[in-house]
Structure 1
Amino acid sequence: MMDANELDVLWHTSQIRVTDEIAVAPEVLFCNGSVIGTLGNFSASTGKAKSKKTFNVSAIVAAALINGEVLRYVAEFPDNKRTVLYFDTEQSPYHCQKVIRRALQLAGLPLDRHPDNLIFAQLRAQVPDIRLEIIDRAIATTPNVGLVIIDGVRDLMFDINNATESSRLINKLMEWTDKYQIHIHTVLHLNKSDDNVRGHVGTELNNKAETVLQVSKSTTDDEVTEVSASCIRSMDFAPFAFRVNDYGLPEIVENHTFGKASKQQVFSYNELSPDQHREALELAFADGAIKGCQNCEDKIKAAYASCGYPYGDGKVTKLKTFLMNKRMIVKENGAYQFNRDFYY
């Protein structure tokens, strides 16, 4: 607990006046001409397993290493922010080294000498709180850090559905980026059943990240990966596609036709506001818990329609999956219940 004097200092230093001169956050990462990363903020890549998220991140790292263009990414870090810290929480040392080699090849750098501005750490053997402490110490003590990659941000916590733990982790990302004026890019998996980011931490990430890139397999060609922005504060960019060539490197697929089928199969998290969901769910669960999957869907369909959001049977099924992924609805003791303490 802080004493009154410490709180007074924080209170006064937190105030902003219209006459203050505040510098614009330096823009350091771009995609197809749009800003996707600034110093003092964080972003994320999301995608399902085997969608080639790490290949995409390798291109971002490669662009940062040379402060140039790789794939469709452009990096423009200041001279005193050229060091890249990369933390991998999932892969073995062998596979981590493959990621390093891929990034260097994409950047056109030699493989017989490790670049001075890349520090790569493999943290799979550590527990979440130790991983967090290592990253904290590394950021604080490494000179000239501009970009930090955390490949496997969910491994910095024990329970991805724990509201307190999720909020603390996202607050830590905001603390690091603000205090050290760096950009952090994280990687998080999507649910297998839909295109929603996993757990409570995924919801927090969507709410607070500057940009969320969605990396997904093409619906028309299994060898092609598509990259688009599912959330972005800046102007949206045109999606691009890549495939892995015979050398194991991602390369742009020109004139790719982007299918819309995959986006039509899910319920978008920003289609309705939290208050709109709460209004409908209060009505659906007015009589308490609901037993039976079909009965639950029927109640949801009727309630949302009464609130002015009529959905067909197929959309209601996807809506119910979405509500459960977001833990707005939970299943306990064989019955569906409305979680009135949900955090959207």
Structure 2
Amino acid sequence: MTPMEQSNCQTDNGNVLDELLKASRILADDTYQVPPQIMWVDNSTIATLGNFSASTGKAKSRKTFNVSAIVAASLGNKQVLKYRACLPEGKRKILYIDTEQSRYHCHVVMQRILRLAGVPQDVNTANLVFYGLREYHPTMRLQLIEHALQKETGCGLVVIDGIRDLMLDINDPSESVSIINKLMQWSSIYNLHIHCVLHLNKSDDNVRGHIGTELNNKAETVLVIAKSQTLANASEVKPLSLRDREFEPFAFKIDEEGMPVDIYDYEFGKKDGKASKMTIGDITEEQHEKALEVAFQDKVVSGYEHMLTALSKGYGEIGFARGRTTLSKLLTYLLTNKKVVKLASNEYCLPKNYPSLPLIDEDT
């Protein structure tokens, strides 16, 4: 290249850089819209357009079940588990990328999402586009995702399950930075939210590899899904990092039909290596109502011992299975707080069911 050609090339490059800087400058008199919020847990925002998030967990922690609930909530613009979603008009399409499962298992996941969303399972919906990229090289997977984003207009949510398969070396810093830059670029250019799935280390609770470190530093939200140590077939969901205020952890289980469902009375935390027990004071009003409905079944319960048996059955349904001494204390609490009333005939009932019967003012 001649000196003249080098000079012209530098000038052209300088002009390009000037244009990029001009487009990137933030001015005091500019106005910007708050990124649209599209998903919440309770009152905590966990996803906005133009950002990305992640679900992490060890093998068999049911990460994909958790992601299925996220996608179903977004597809139906409804609440599934604790996830409440609302994708705006023009951004209702969801792109789901699976990098490791067979086509059969991808189809199982898609069917689960459709069922959770309340959408017919035997009819293709334009708002859920599902790709299985298991057989491709990481470089080709990246190219295919980028092409899908260009092709599938109107996407509000993109799921990449799992992001580790977009790279050759999970601990390579340059590869990790490149992948994270892609997520930032895609979410910004296409004004959508990207949710990724990545494993935790087997030996500890750290997100795997250098890519995990980068995700943790740059993501809007990082969720941790862990198998319950106290309840079979259950998983816990906790916030690892969150730009908004943290939500209270919750738990779900897989029901007989293979669907994730809430566990409202789940006990979190451990003491001395054992799960901490729920106390009477920990029971919510909703749980009391549920337990007492099971205990009474709109009937009168005759006798003290029968009442304890009924309470054992009812409160066992909400996870408060206790012995006779605690159940006696529970009955005293229920009578004192007028949740249960005692009739003159040594019978017990719910106030709403028998408001006009004569009562006896006793504690037990």
* TM-score, normalisation: structure 2: 0.70
Cα distance, 1:17 vs structure 2: 1.6
- Mapping of 1:11-50 within 5 angstroms? 11-50=21-60
Match of 1:122 in 2: 132
Match of 2:331 in 1: none
Select the structure of larger CA radius of gyration.
2
Residues 177 and 183, structure 1, Cα contact 8 Å, conserved in 2: yes
- Mapping of 1:106-255 within 5 angstroms? 106-255=116-265
Deviant stretches of 4+, over 3 Å: none
Instruction: Give a deviation string over 1:13-59, Cα, whole Å, max 9, x none.
Output: 11112221011000001112210000000000000000000000000
Instruction: Give a deviation string over 1:201-231, Cα, whole Å, max 9, x none.
Output: 0000000000000000112123210001100
Counterpart secondary structure, 2:27 = coil
The count of corresponding residues between Structure 1 and Structure 2 is 263
Q: d(CA) in 1 for partners of 2:85 and 2:177?
A: 29
Cα distance, 1:155 vs structure 2: 0.2
Match of 1:74 in 2: 84
Say what the alpha-carbon RMSD is for the aligned residues: 1.6
- Mapping of 1:60-99 within 5 angstroms? 60-99=70-109
Cα distance, 1:3 vs structure 2: 0.9
Q: d(CA) in 2 for partners of 1:215 and 1:49?
A: 10
Cα distance, 1:260 vs structure 2: 5.0
Instruction: Give a deviation string over 1:309-333, Cα, whole Å, max 9, x none.
Output: xxxxxxxxxxxxxxxxxxxxxxxxx
Between the aligned residues of both structures, percent identity stands at 54
Is 1:3 the counterpart of 2:13 in the alignment? yes
Q: d(CA) in 2 for partners of 1:236 and 1:173?
A: 23
Residues 219 and 259, structure 1, Cα contact 8 Å, conserved in 2: no
Cα distance, 1:127 vs structure 2: 0.4
Q: d(CA) in 2 for partners of 1:13 and 1:144?
A: 24
Counterpart secondary structure, 2:90 = helix
Give the partner amino acid of 2:54: A
Match of 1:275 in 2: none
Is 1:52 the counterpart of 2:52 in the alignment? no
Match of 1:269 in 2: none
Counterpart secondary structure, 2:245 = coil
Instruction: Give a deviation string over 1:141-200, Cα, whole Å, max 9, x none.
Output: 212111000001010000010000000000000000000100000000000011100000
Counterpart secondary structure, 1:3 = helix
Counterpart secondary structure, 2:120 = coil
Q: d(CA) in 1 for partners of 2:212 and 2:201?
A: 10
Q: d(CA) in 2 for partners of 1:181 and 1:174?
A: 10
Which 5+ residue runs of structure 1 have no aligned equivalent?
262-344
Q: d(CA) in 2 for partners of 1:244 and 1:43?
A: 24
Instruction: Give a deviation string over 1:245-300, Cα, whole Å, max 9, x none.
Output: 00000000111111258xxxxxxxxxxxxxxxxxxxxxxxxxxxxxxxxxxxxxxx
Which 5+ residue runs of structure 2 have no aligned equivalent?
1-9, 272-364
Q: d(CA) in 1 for partners of 2:24 and 2:86?
A: 29
Q: d(CA) in 1 for partners of 2:19 and 2:196?
A: 32
Cα distance, 1:106 vs structure 2: 0.8
* TM-score, normalisation: structure 1: 0.75
Give the partner amino acid of 2:24: S
